[in-house]
Amino acid sequence: MAVLHDNETGLNTLDPQTHRARDAAAFRRIVAAVDAVHDADTELIEAVRAAQRVGDSWTVIAVALGTTRQAAQQRFARLIDSA
State pLDDT tens for residues 4-35.
555 677 777 877 778 777 788 999 999 999 99
- Cα-based distances in Å from 52 to 26, 34, 62, 65, 77: 39, 27, 12, 14, 10
Higher pLDDT, 4 or 64: 64
- CA 3, 37, 68, 55 dihedral sign is positive
Expressed in percent and rounded to 5, the helix, strand and coil fractions of the chain are 70, 0, 30
CB 64 within 8 A of CB 51: yes
Which helix (H) or strand (E) is 53 found in, with range?
Answer: helix 25-53
pLDDT for residue 83 is more than 70: no
- For the residues 47-59, what does the mean pLDDT come to? 96
Residue 61: pLDDT band (50, 70, 90) is: very high
